[in-house]
């Protein structure tokens, strides 16, 4: 496979499930700038997971939702629930 926009050694974020490593198409890899800390780049994946779960839950404005834990995922879930309404 020949790379067009990325080169070996570039930092990227990609989505491939709960695995330690994976192979993905170049167009599905999101380049991460060198000056961006890896923990901030990780928020791309976490925010996507959180948003998908909120949309899958499909809550109504009158529903009560319990979020256990206020780590990154909990806070992102609160954020997306608030933005939904």
Domain ranges of the chain: 12-84
CA-nearest of 50, 43, 44 to 69 is 50
Average pLDDT over residues 69-76: 92
pLDDT at 79: 94
Facing residues of 31 across strands? 12
* Long-range pairs, 30-38, Cβ under 8 A, ≥24: 31/5, 31/6, 38/11
Tell me: pLDDT of 80 over 80: yes
Between CA 50 and CA 8 the distance in angstroms is 30
Tell me: pLDDT of 56 over 90: yes
The CA distances from residue 37 to 5, 15, 20, 31, in Å, are 21, 18, 19, 13
Band (1; pLDDT cuts 50, 70, 90): low
Tell me: pLDDT of 82 over 80: yes
In this prediction the pTM is 0.67
Average pLDDT over residues 21-44: 89
């Amino acid at each position: 496979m020949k790379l067009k926009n990325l080169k070996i050694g570039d930092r990227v974020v990609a989505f491939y499930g709960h695995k330690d490593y994976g192979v993905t198409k170049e167009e599905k890899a999101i380049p991460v700038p060198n000056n961006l800390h890896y923990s901030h780049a990780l928020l791309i994946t976490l925010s996507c997971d959180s948003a998908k779960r909120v949309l899958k839950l499909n809550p109504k404005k009158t529903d009560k939702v319990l979020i256990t834990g206020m780590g990154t995922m909990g806070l992102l879930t609160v954020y997306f629930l608030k933005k939904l309404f």
